A = this chain, B = another copy of it.
């Protein structure tokens, strides 16, 4: 059976770039929403899923943490993709012909200096970055450009007129690869590499509750790489915590830490254990 990986967005979206890093042998299948990506992976319509989880400028994608809690799809990999925006046009369009530049408003805002330096270009909001390239090509526009990934230019046969026009080069999005628990190879451990484990837990809102929960990791010298609190819906002063730490769930010390966490947390769950990636 041909293996497939679901992602949200049009072909050429940054999620597809992440999918090509995390699941290079899978055929990428676009979906309209994160919901649909999780649903398709849970129902076996795709073999795996790739979803964004946080961005260095915009923070965590809480919606996807909600889906991770709802669906039982363990995290099996992570990657960081640098968000590089390019000015893209149909093959024969020249720079002097461009009047409007289409893209998602977030991408347009991330290229503010570019528009300040090119006041003749009108910023034009569109549904998504890759979709704006697709639209340019389908409608054969002669007076417009788009802002999107190099992958989008390649997929739709468009041309990159100017590379890396984003204001801030320290703009990375972290993506997770999700599989069914039974997926082939999901349990294989490679001895030489460093693993991360992601857990979610809740504590009652009493002073020091979080501190006690974190002692489960700190007392065992487990190094946290992410911690984030989030108000629990419906119970305004209670919190959900996301924690990532360096360690494999097969390690004895991780077992002790999770046993200790179970004592002090109201609810807890391992979201996955996977090879650690860094911002490169």
Q: Which residues of A contact B (CB under 8 A)?
A: 33, 54-63, 104-105, 109, 112, 125-128, 170, 205-208, 210-212, 214-215, 217-218, 221-231, 233-234, 236-237, 239, 241, 278-280
Contact = CB atoms under 8 A, between A and B. Distances in A.
A235 to B, nearest CB: 10
25 contacts: A33-B109, A58-B59, A59-B59, A59-B60, A59-B61, A59-B62, A60-B60, A105-B105, A105-B128, A125-B126, A170-B234, A207-B221, A207-B222, A207-B223, A208-B221, A211-B211, A211-B214, A211-B217, A225-B229, A225-B237, A225-B239, A226-B229, A227-B241, A236-B279, A237-B278
Given A62-B56, A62-B59, A218 B211 contact: yes
A215 B223 contact: no
Copies in the complex: 2
Contact of A233 (B170, B222, B228, B236): B170
Given A227-B227, A229-B226, A207 B211 contact: no
A74 B11 CA distance: 44
B206 A223 contact: yes
Nearest to A233: B170
Contacts of A61: 58-59
Given A211-B214, A211-B218, A205 B227 contact: no
B112 A231 contact: no
Contacts of A229: 224-228
